[in-house]
């Protein structure tokens, strides 16, 4: 069980467990998992590190050979954070794309332990077709989604707020219930909010 201490204290226990390249290799579908997905370079690794208060945690997933894998991090006794492979590289061979579609699609559609998904989007390029694909896969399960509009520090405050409002409006009809907030791993906007969401999902 994850003890309901402060989110920051809980996150200090996080540690890398394993990388998985096929659905059959996933750990038993029990306990509670919270996953992170996003387009490559959107800032997913930085967001995981900022939320966990660690510098290099998620960069394990960037080591050669691991970028297309699902990376598991243990949190407390029975919970996991799950770093899903980044998507959207311009030139991937069809076979690679088919592979991640199967892995990501299968995971999002069928993982019963999944308590919530953080979907990471660069605030300057939100809601790409592949971001929508993630939401379409997950929607039938009813699992909650929190969109983190990363790199908010790259826009003025006003432009960032406008982009947030536009994204919330674009999400509302096709994906009711999906929430969004500003995020920056540089100035730490949204970090505490994301920790609170994570703690709520794992407790619920």
Rg over alpha carbons for the chain, rounded to the nearest Å, is: 16
Candidates 25-33, 72-80, 146-154, 168-176; binding stretch for ligand GDP (CB under 6 A): 146-154
Residues in contact with ligand GDP, counted by CB under 6 A, come to a total of 16
Among 19, 150, 163, 167, binds ligand GDP (CB under 6 A): 150
When binding is defined by CB under 6 A, the residue of 11, 34, 42, 81 that contacts ligand GDP is 42
The nearest distance, CB 8 to ligand GDP, in angstroms, is: 19
Contact (CB, 8 A) for 44 and 131: no
Q: Under the criterion CB under 6 A, does residue 154 sit at the interface with ligand GDP?
A: yes
End-to-end CA distance of the chain: 12
Per-state percent for the chain, helix, strand, coil, to nearest 5:
40, 20, 35
For ligand GDP, the closer of residues 146 and 184 by Cβ is: 184
Strand ranges across the sheet with 70-75: 15-20, 70-75, 79-83, 32-38, 114-122, 145-150, 179-182
User: Which structure tokens are listed for 140?
Assistant: 């039938």
Closest distance of CB 66 from ligand GDP, Å: 11
Q: Is 19 in the site for ligand GDP (CB under 6 A)?
A: no
Q: Which spans of this chain sit near ligand GDP (rule: CB under 6 A)?
A: 38, 40-46, 86, 150-151, 153-154, 184-186
């Amino acid at each position: 069980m994850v003890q309901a201490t402060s989110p920051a204290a809980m996150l200090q226990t996080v540690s890398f467990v394993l990388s998985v390249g096929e659905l059959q290799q996933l750990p038993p579908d029990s306990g509670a998992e919270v996953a992170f997905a996003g387009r490559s370079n959107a800032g997913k690794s930085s967001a995981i590190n900022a939320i966990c208060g660690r510098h290099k945690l998620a960069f394990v997933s960037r080591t050669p050979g691991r970028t297309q894998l699902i990376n598991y991090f243990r949190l407390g006794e029975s919970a996991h954070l799950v770093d899903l492979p980044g998507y959207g590289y311009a030139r991937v061979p069809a076979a690679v794309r088919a592979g991640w579609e199967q892995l990501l699609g299968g995971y999002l559609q069928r993982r019963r332990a999944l308590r919530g998904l953080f979907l990471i989007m660069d605030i300057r390029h939100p809601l790409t077709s592949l971001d929508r694909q993630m939401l379409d896969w997950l929607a039938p399960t009813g699992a909650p989604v929190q969109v983190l509009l990363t790199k908010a520090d790259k826009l003025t405050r006003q432009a960032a707020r406008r982009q947030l409002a536009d994204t919330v409006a674009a999400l509302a009809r096709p994906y009711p219930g999906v929430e969004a907030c500003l995020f920056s791993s540089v100035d730490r906007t949204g970090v505490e909010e994301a920790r609170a969401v994570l703690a709520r999902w794992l407790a619920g």
